[in-house]
Chains A and B, each alone.
Chain A
Amino acid sequence: MEWIYEPWPWYISGFMIALVMFLLIMVGKNFGMSGNLRTICTICGSGKKVDFFRFDWKSQRWNLTVVLGAIIGGFIAHQFLTVEATVALNPDTVSDLQLLGFENAGKTYMPEELFSSAVFTDPKNIILLVIGGFLVGFGARYAGGCTSGHAISGLSNLQLPSLIAVIGFFIGGLTMIHLIFPLLF
């Protein structure tokens, strides 16, 4: 069982994600995380102003429970199932990132520049996280799903719309990293 403390290889990770989707199908639900953002908006009262949020959020309680689990799972994995949270990146990626100013690439799980508490007093990086998060929320709802709903569930069900969305995810991601990152960092 020692492997559990190491980073999981792609084939175990991929198998486990398919297992999660299978389990959700077999309990009569579906695998899609971004719908929860809409549900949370509804709980916060958005339905009073906007029709899109006027629905019975209680029908989505099961998915909020899955999200609560995802939070707990993150805690368990980081605290109890990880000895050293480093990511074994390609050395070329590490040198690219260092040129962009991400000094601990390859040494930590997340870049200190964006995800250490020092960010809270760094207006530029706060703005970048806000823009990133905003686009994730806006884009996921516009496209009707995110990585789980389209790339995993939708493609598994051979849905053409999901293929269009996933190609869109890559056009957006490649544009951000190859064209916009050099302007930002």
Chain B
Amino acid sequence: MKRTLIYLLIGILFGIIMFKSEAASWFRIYEMFKFEAFHMYGIIGTAVFLGVVTIALIKRFKIKSFYGEQVHFPPKQKSFARYAIGGILFGLGWALAGACPGPMFTLLGAGFLPIIIVIVASLLGTFVYGLLRDKLPH
């Protein structure tokens, strides 16, 4: 129960960040792919830079979680096709819908109701991937 509340609070923080950073704005995604502003590159760059340092420190000093458990960083499965093809398809959708799987929920909360169409379609896309998975190169 207490942990659930913590997850909820982290999610609320995440939602506020996505909205206030404008990473949830369709316009900012368009501007990023036009290379006409530093904003989104600054956000992602800062997050990745701090993320690299943070994870390196956690590994180096074997820092335990708040609950005293070992922290795991599962490595991604080695492959090329799935990341390249899946990544390109994701990018096409990201630029068109202007929203990725976190911000789309933030936009729902912010009251942009047509995002429901995007969310339902993304569930359908996930389902169709599951359906075709064995036939796709991975």
* A14 & B114 in contact (Cβ 8 Å cutoff): no
* B7 & A137 in contact (Cβ 8 Å cutoff): no
* B19 & A137 in contact (Cβ 8 Å cutoff): no
The A-B contact count (CB < 8 A) is: 491
Residues of A contacting B115 with CB < 8 Å?
Answer: 115
Near A by CB (< 8 A), chain B positions 55-93 give 55, 58, 65-67, 69, 71, 73-80, 82-93
Q: How many residues of A contact B (CB 8 A)?
A: 127
Near B by CB (< 8 A), chain A positions 123-137 give 126, 128-137
* B31 & A93 in contact (Cβ 8 Å cutoff): yes
* A172 & B121 in contact (Cβ 8 Å cutoff): no
* A161 & B36 in contact (Cβ 8 Å cutoff): no
Within 8 Å by CB of A46, from B78, B90, B130, lies: B130
Within 8 Å by CB of A176, from B46, B76, B91, B119, lies: B91
Given contacts A77-B110, A87-B27, A176-B33, contact A137 B46 (CB under 8 A): no
Contact-residue size bin, chain B (C-beta under 8 Å from the other chain): 35 or more
* A129 & B97 in contact (Cβ 8 Å cutoff): yes
Residues of B contacting A173 with CB < 8 Å?
Answer: 29, 32-33, 91-92, 94-95
Alpha-carbon distance A134/B104, docked complex (angstroms): 13
* A70 & B105 in contact (Cβ 8 Å cutoff): yes
Residues of B contacting A99 with CB < 8 Å?
Answer: none
* B66 & A71 in contact (Cβ 8 Å cutoff): no
Residues of A contacting B131 with CB < 8 Å?
Answer: 49-50, 52
Residues of B contacting A46 with CB < 8 Å?
Answer: 127, 130
Within 8 Å by CB of B14, from A7, A73, A119, A178, lies: A73
Residues of B contacting A97 with CB < 8 Å?
Answer: 27, 30
A167 CB to nearest chain B CB (Å):
7
A124 CB to nearest chain B CB (Å):
13
Q: Which residue on chain A has the smallest CB distance to residue B129?
A: A141
* A82 & B7 in contact (Cβ 8 Å cutoff): no
A156 CB to nearest chain B CB (Å):
3
* A74 & B109 in contact (Cβ 8 Å cutoff): yes
- On B, residues with C-beta under 8 Å from A are 3-4, 6-34, 36-52, 54-55, 58, 65-67, 69, 71, 73-80, 82-102, 104-115, 117-131, 133, 136
